[in-house]
Amino acid sequence: MALTQTQQFYPGMGLTTTKAPFIEVARSRGELYIEQPYELYSEENHEAWRRLYARIQDRWQRYATEKFLEGVSKLCLDPNRVPRLDDVNQFLAPLTGFKAKAVSGYVPAYIFFDCLRRREFPTTITVRDINSLDYLPEPDIFHDIAGHVPMHTDKRFADTLVRFGEAAHTAARIVQEIKDPELQVQRIISITRALARFFWFTIEFGLMRGRNGELKVYGSGLLSSYGEIAHAIESPEVQRYPILLEWVINQYFEIDHYQPLLFIVDSFDHLFDLVDQLERWMLEGKLNNVAPGEPTMSEEDIRSFLEAVVD
């Protein structure tokens, strides 16, 4: 009898971002959606989660939006063990219909946005190396589950993600109607760049006005970073401005250092309305020639829009 995928690996072998044979095999087979082979987590993986979770508690209390703190308590995350996605989903799905869905790595742009439309959140299952808890260029399970998923318990925020997925669907429809292949690719790059920048400056690095006007963090890149969550709110080196759609879609960003520029929304109703506006602008052609620069679109990202099934 053929071995199942996880039987090829030993329990406790580890699912570390820099070393995860299970993930490497899944990727070599072209498998994007995978199971979470929980028994493969090593004690070191659990210890990394425990340390990450313990040290950020005070900073969450101080800097995170209350919607996030409510989300954390609703999800009942275990401070000591890497979470099981099934357990997380048991608490999450009844609240907003969202579910964390394990993936083997990078999800091409359209596929990622389309998952949001279906209330699925592509989730990395590896854990960063215990010796480099501070910085990680790619997501890990702490970023995805502790940084993103608590926000998905909020109905208005969850609806905003779905609305964003719908905007990406509109983008795919628009570009698939273009007959000239060169123009088609140029449009995909520009529109997707605008969508990615919006996502970055809101869902990943957004700030929001709190109940008494104080600044709070709702962006997951900040919520999962012990250093940057405080820097984002306290540092005089950070520029913080009320969000303007025309600015955000034309603003490039770099991922490998603390962000020098952050944007503030008033509420999640405000954020939802901005996504509406983003889609309207797309339909009016205002995203067709956004300023060049990061992020760049890979061949895979471009293909994902061309191959999208649009109804």
Binding stretches for Fe ion (CB under 5 A): 220
Shortest separation between residue 124's beta carbon and Fe ion, angstroms: 9
Give the integer Cα–Cα distance in Å for 97 and 108.
23
Q: Which is nearer to Fe ion, 41 or 121 (CB)?
A: 121
Smallest distance from Fe ion to CB 70, Å:
20
The sign of the dihedral angle between the CA atoms of 28, 144, 154, 304 is negative
Q: Six-digit token pair at 129?
A: 């190396």
The whole-angstrom separation of Cα 130 and Cα 276 is 41
Question: Whose Cβ is closer to Fe ion: residue 15's or residue 203's?
Answer: 203
Q: Which among 271, 259, 265 has a CA at the least distance from the CA of 229?
A: 259
Task: Look up residue 213 and give its two tokens.
Answer: 């006007």
Q: Which is nearer to Fe ion, 14 or 206 (CB)?
A: 206
Please give the Cα distance from 142 to 91 (Å, whole number).
18
What's the closest the beta carbon of residue 94 comes to Fe ion, in angstroms?
A: 24
Six-digit token string for 70? 């409510």
Strands 239-242 and 261-265: parallel
CB of 176 to Fe ion, least distance (A): 27
Least Cβ distance, residue 221 to Fe ion (angstroms): 6
Q: How far is the CB of 15 from Fe ion (least distance, A)?
A: 18
- Of 42 and 71, CB closest to Fe ion: 71
Question: Measured between alpha carbons, how far is 288 from 282 in angstroms, rounded to an integer?
Answer: 7
DSSP labels for 103-165? Answer: ESS---HHHHHHHHHTTEEEEE--B--TT--S--SS--HIIIIIIIGGGGGSHHHHHHHHHHH
Q: Which residue is nearest to Fe ion (CB)?
A: 220
Q: Which residue has the tokens 């490497």?
A: 24
Q: Which is nearer to Fe ion, 9 or 71 (CB)?
A: 71
CB of 279 to Fe ion, least distance (A): 21
Using the minimum distance from each CB to Fe ion, give the nearer residue, 225 or 304. Answer: 225
Closer Cβ to Fe ion, 244 or 255, answer by number: 255
